[in-house]
Structure 1
Amino acid sequence: MSKSVALLDYGSGNLRSAQRALERVGADVTVTSDPKIAVDADGLLVPGVGAFAACMAGLNAVHGPRIIGQRLAGGRPVLGICVGMQILFEEGNEHGVHTRGAGEWPGTVERLHARILPHMGWNTVERAADSQMFAGLDADTRFYFVHTYGVRDWTLETDDLTTPPSVAWAEHESDRFVAAVENGPLWATQFHPEKSADAGAQLLTNWLSTL
């Protein structure tokens, strides 16, 4: 039986490519801004293209932070992609404009320290050997990135009773940034699995297996 995935439509774009990629790996996808559908689906995918502030405005307009919070409170999987990952952090800083994010993780989305921007192309990712997100993928597997901003400092602390998130990293011109996070039911990638060919399809398949 297919897993149902709500693809959250909050005006960020990038919906159809994500929808097609999920359907190719067997998901039953509904593109929606309806909170009930988004909360009740087996999985929720939060896409994102564009500026942090504009994406947060769109997300707030459809009660996105509340939807994400409700799902996570019940242990229900959420996957954020690109700016859909960035908005999960506390704050975005673009062109001197500070915008509050959804606040699931501490940290600031900021401009990468690189001469050539945007960072566009295929990169390897440094991740934990026991990662569920990257299961079945070799360490030298490349994923497709296109972004100018990212999270350059991971600050989340955990206690002895909490399983720490698994954080994957990548580099552009020697500037290191968060490439992906696995945090219980909350997964996110800075790269685009829907544009990463077979590697992206495997990652999405791994996510569907958690639903």
Structure 2
Amino acid sequence: MIGIVDYGRGNLRSVEKALAKVGFEAKIMTTPRDLPLVDGVILPGVGAFADAMEALQRGEWIEPIIGFAGSGRPFLGICLGMQVLFEFGEEHGEHAGLGLLAGRVVKFPPGGKVPHMGWNNVNLVQPSRLLEGIPDQAYFYFVHSFYALPANQRDIIGTSDYGVVFPALVGKDNVWGAQFHPEKSSPWGLQLLSNFGKLVSEYAALSSH
């Protein structure tokens, strides 16, 4: 079972529907007490970094999410949900993130139209189980004004270019983040969610023995 974190900052239903479309059941979780009931988690998000962290704090999600990620179970952040995986965000001053990935989230440089909104191709930097069956330069749908600057280049799985080359997909061990919206990026977005679902099923099968 895949849990989708409901902290008032995400497009939950479209993620749930996209997972159903590729054959995976999801549970929208309104409390951290649901975390032990699921084998993988998706953290969606739209809006501002500080607001997201405040909402996670208010819902008492932060420590349980960090604990879940530390357990080895598959974890995927989407858009703002990817950005809060990092240590700091620079939107409206510096704010602490979840710190699951080293680095910070910064604003696009002046000159380009912000937010970056629309379809962009993703350059695959290194192989990942999340990208199985997805070709290099596949297009995904983005909506964001900030982007991640990982401290470790090895955490960058795929990049995109919007006046500056930025990480479109990041990951370390069992924690991944997609700057784009896979739930709005069919068919390749659905393939990515299907790959994530398979990883969750594998973990569930292994942990049941």
Verify same fold: TM over 0.5.
Answer: yes
- Kindly state the Cα deviation for residue 73 of structure 1 after the two structures are TM-superposed: 2.0
Misfit runs of 4+, over 4 Å: none
Distance 2:107 2:79 in 1: 14
- Kindly state the Cα deviation for residue 46 of structure 1 after the two structures are TM-superposed: 0.2
Pairs aligned (count): 199
Which of 63, 76, 87 is residue 84 of structure 2 equivalent to?
Answer: 87
- Kindly state the Cα deviation for residue 193 of structure 1 after the two structures are TM-superposed: 0.1
What does 1:1-211 align with in structure 2 at a 5 Å threshold? Answer: 4-95=1-92, 97-113=93-109, 114-151=111-148, 153-156=149-152, 164-173=154-163, 175-211=164-200
Provide closer, same or farther for how the CA distance between residues 99 and 166 of structure 1 changes in structure 2, counting only shifts above 3 A.
closer
Partner secondary structure for residue 180 of structure 2:
coil
Deviation sequence 1:121-175 (CA, Å, 0-9, x none):
1111122353211110111210000100111x32138xxxxxx5353211102x1
Structure 2 unaligned blocks of 5 or more:
201-209
Distance 2:156 2:6 in 1: 27
Q: Contact 2:101–2:172 (CA<8 Å) still a contact in 1?
A: no
Distance 1:112 1:6 in 2: 31
Q: Percent identity?
A: 38
Q: Contact 2:2–2:25 (CA<8 Å) still a contact in 1?
A: yes
Distance 2:171 2:106 in 1: 21
Q: Contact 2:150–2:156 (CA<8 Å) still a contact in 1?
A: no
- Select between 113-122 and 192-201 the one with higher mean Cα deviation: 113-122
Q: Contact 2:43–2:77 (CA<8 Å) still a contact in 1?
A: yes
- Select between 194-203 and 100-109 the one with higher mean Cα deviation: 100-109
Q: Contact 1:39–1:70 (CA<8 Å) still a contact in 2?
A: no
Structure 1 unaligned blocks of 5 or more:
158-163
Partner secondary structure for residue 116 of structure 1:
coil
Distance 1:39 1:112 in 2: 37
**TM-score normalised according to structure 1 size:** 0.89
Q: Contact 2:124–2:137 (CA<8 Å) still a contact in 1?
A: no
RMSD: 1.5
**TM-score normalised according to structure 2 size:** 0.89
